[in-house]
Amino acid sequence: ASYKSGHHSTCLSGTRVAILNSLMEWASNDKSPKIYWLYGIAGTGKSTIAQSFCVQLQEKGFSVASFCCSRNAVERSDIRKLVPTTYSIVDSIARADNMFCQSTLHALEKEPSVAKYSVSEQIKLLLVNQTISCQNKWIIVIDGLDECSDPQAISKLIETL
């Protein structure tokens, strides 16, 4: 599910300001590491922070895509469900970025059977490898990855990213 689906609420006004500022600084700085890993024990508000961050990114004009995992919803606990989301993210980026679109089309011509690949290989081929050619910076938020039911697939996805 995307952050736009409304599965999580946002932070109350005036709360979590320091972490949200830190996330925005990270997103705004081209020299920042490519991945920001927000972690903590269950129930500490990470999903609410992720939701708020996505909303703030969109409000500030960033290109943002997201997927929210949840062990409480079958459709969001299966890491294979990231594949349709990946295609949606790829479609969103391709519509906004011609260089990415051309690069992705070229990749699909070279690998027409990509749909048969593992989740991590599809994400690597269609998203990770192609974002190098993006004209614009994209922020992709994956929330609750630890709530997916296949630890090996999670591990492979993390390695891919």
- What's the CA gap between 160 and 125, in Å, rounded? 10
* Separation between Cα atoms, residue 45 and residue 131, nearest integer Å: 29
pLDDT at 6: 60
Instruction: Specify the amino acid at residue 26.
Output: W
Assign domain 3-160 to a CATH class: alpha beta
pLDDT of residue 3: 57
According to the model, what pLDDT value does residue 96 have? 79
The phi, psi pair for 53, rounded to 5°, reads -60, -45
pTM score of the predicted model: 0.76
The structure tokens listed for 63 are 């290109």
Contact 135, 94 (CB under 8 A): no
- Position 17 scores a pLDDT of 97
pLDDT in tens, the chain (161 residues): 555 656 668 999 999 999 999 999 999 999 999 889 999 888 899 999 999 999 999 899 888 878 788 777 766 677 666 667 777 778 878 887 888 889 999 999 999 998 888 878 888 888 888 888 777 778 888 888 888 888 887 888 788 77
pLDDT at 23: 98
Distance CA 7, CA 70 (A): 10
